[in-house]
Amino acid sequence: MSDAPDPVLVAPATAAPPPFYRHKLPTRLWHWTNALSVFVMLMSGLMILSAHPHLYWGVYGANADHAWFEILPGHIRIGSLILPGFGIFGVSRGGQNYTVNPLFTIPSHYDLAGSREWHFAFAWLLVVPGILYLAWTLIGRHKRDLAPTLDELRPAHILHDINEHAHLRFPTGEAAKRYNILQKLSYSAVIFVLIPGVILTGLTMSPGLNAAWPWLLDLFGGRPSARSIHFICAMGLAAFIFVHLAMVILAGPINEIRSMFSGWYRPHPDRVPADPSTDPIPEPAE
């Protein structure tokens, strides 16, 4: 125990590194209020979309106008591209056609008024904690956790990280204590682009707020455009959640989920002997 062992002789799975405090309380609280609100927003939003499953660009858009996106029986159309409905859109079940699979909507039966009630109630749970968390991130230290270094932004580094993730080799030991570049980019996209995007385009669809804040319409190019961008951002969030959940499962769901409750995370032991020469990417200087 007393002698420092030769690094080459260190077995891959020696004593596990001690747990460390990875998630501060605001992050953990926001994660779970957001998990609930985004889940309800996406499902009630799909019901709202199903009331008029056509999306337009511009200042007006109704049935006689050109839609760039449409849900059709069995498939969706994006521009001139026809894609399958992926079991979500334009499904047929038990001899009945549904614009959106009832498994993915709130409520499960067609109820536009009900879905709007869910959507606008849970929007408060998205907006209020979202603003607080954004302020905490920007004022406090958390923005430094998210900011990529110049070195990390090198295409070679990003490609290397993508390759590592694709081979399900996740950061271990010291490297697991920081966000990797893919986490930094995807979390930043969610916090700074997708969530502000859904909120602002959501507000832009309100005829009441159009009178109070007409600049929102100028920002997004009209209500139908805002509705289109709202949907694109929402699908971006859905894609993020899909990948995020897959990563949690692959990286060890118990450890990951526990750390989002308690804040304490147990890094995986280093896979390879701690020999810097085998790591093609130097550690960030910070």
Looking at the Cβ atoms of 106 and 191, the one nearer to another protein is 106
Among 13, 35, 82, 112, binds another protein (CB under 8 A): 112
Among 209, 241, 251, 260, binds another protein (CB under 8 A): 209
Element (H, E) at 163: helix 155-166
Minimum distance from CB of 233 to another protein (Å)? 16
Binding-residue pattern over the window 123 to 162 for another protein, x denoting contact by CB under 8 A: xx--------------------------------------
Give the number of residues in contact with another protein, rule: CB under 8 A: 44
Q: In sequence order, what DSSP letters do the residues of 229-270 get, joined into one string?
A: HHHHHHHHHHHHHHHHHHHHHHT-HHHHHHHHHHSEE-PPPP
Among 116, 142, 160, 178, binds another protein (CB under 8 A): 116
Among 13, 35, 51, 83, binds another protein (CB under 8 A): 51
13 is a contact residue toward another protein (CB under 8 A)? no
Evaluate the CA torsion angle 42, 206, 197, 263 in order and state its sign.
negative
Q: DSSP letter at 60?
A: -
Q: DSSP letter at 19?
A: P
Looking at the Cβ atoms of 59 and 250, the one nearer to another protein is 59
Amino acid present at 279: D
276 is a contact residue toward another protein (CB under 8 A)? no
d(CA 176, CA 269): 10
